[in-house]
Amino acid sequence: MPLSLQDWHNRFVIQAQWTKTLRLYFFDLIKSLPADRILDLGCGTGALLPDLGALTPADVHGADISLEHLRLAQKECPEALLTAADAHYLPYPDDAFDICLTHYFLMWAANPEQALKELRRVAKNGGYLVCFAEPDYGGRLDFPTEFVKLRDYQISALLNAGADPRMGRKLKSLFHSLELGDIQCGVYDGSWSKKPSQAELNSEWQTLSADLEGILSRSEIEALRSHELKAYQAGSRLVYVPTFYAWGKVIK
């Protein structure tokens, strides 16, 4: 069953929680930069917008191609300035923003190189381009071994949906092609000190179930979910999807 708008929003909020520590670090790192305008490209339902508003006094702008997502984003963050836009042809003038960022977005862009070039165009000289998160499902690790097949299932589903499941590993190369300065690129640490919350597990399986439709039967999906919950309860379950980040200073 396809995810509802609320399901997607819940998923985006969980993803935003995963990356909050890095955002705090980044905004502390650039605290001397006088930022007046920030753009969140692919802002979706606005999961990041309230956090951005709390981290900086700058005007927060969001752009997304989905009007449905933008309507919910406006409710989540009424003060944000939202625009319906195609990431490949942004309706902003040159040098409009101090910080341009994305979050779990480039993997869904038809042409990520063009989307990044547009972000560079609308960013000011001395400003920053930031990709806070791009996963790489090609590097997904699962244990126990009976769950290893989930990687290939999910890669197939993402390819069928038009996404690039290996975007994470390409991020460093993409940033260097833009001739940015002070580029930093890395991958989020994995941590398995505690079991995921019930909300995280529910969100993960809602997304995975939607991905696996047409690949596995409903009964096969439910059997995998039940088996995974038992593995978590036994403390044996491990899953790691390498998720990359990158940022760089715009030089014009």
Q: What's the CATH code of the domain at 45?
A: 3.40.50.150
Residue 48 lies in a domain: yes
Task: Please report whether residue 21 resides in a domain.
Answer: yes
Asked if residue 60 is part of any domain, the answer here is: yes
Instruction: Indicate the average pLDDT of the chain.
Output: 93
Paired residues of 63 in beta bridges: 41, 83
> How would residue 25 be classed by pLDDT, with cut points 50, 70 and 90?
very high
- In order of 68, 116, 224, 238, 241, the CA distances from 131 in angstroms are 23, 10, 33, 26, 17
In a domain, 218, yes or no: no
Cβ of 148: how many Cβ atoms within 10 Å?
A: 12
Domain that holds residue 18: 5-137+163-190+241-249
Q: CA torsion sign, 6 to 10 to 16 to 21?
A: positive
As given in the structure block, the two tokens for residue 122 are 């609308």
Q: Is the bond into 144 cis (omega within 30 degrees of 0)?
A: yes
pLDDT at 95 over 80: yes
Asked if pLDDT for residue 137 goes beyond 80, the answer is yes
Domain annotation covers residue 148? no
Please report the pLDDT score of residue 1 as a whole number.
Answer: 64
Q: Are the C-beta atoms of residues 99 and 118 closer than 8 Å to each other?
A: no
Kind of pairing between the strands at 141-143 and 97-102: unpaired
219 dihedral zone (left: phi>0; alpha: psi -120 to 50; beta): alpha
Give the helix ranges, DSSP H, for 35-187: 49-55, 67-76, 112-122, 149-160, 171-177
**Residue 226 clears pLDDT 80, i.e. is over it:** yes
Split into its structural domains, the chain has a count of 1
- Round to whole Å and give the CA distance between 126 and 16: 26
The tokens for 234 are: 């036994």
166, 169, 135, 172: which is closest to 247 by C-alpha?
172
Q: Where residue 190 falls among pLDDT bands split at 50, 70, 90? A: confident
CB 232 within 8 A of CB 195: yes
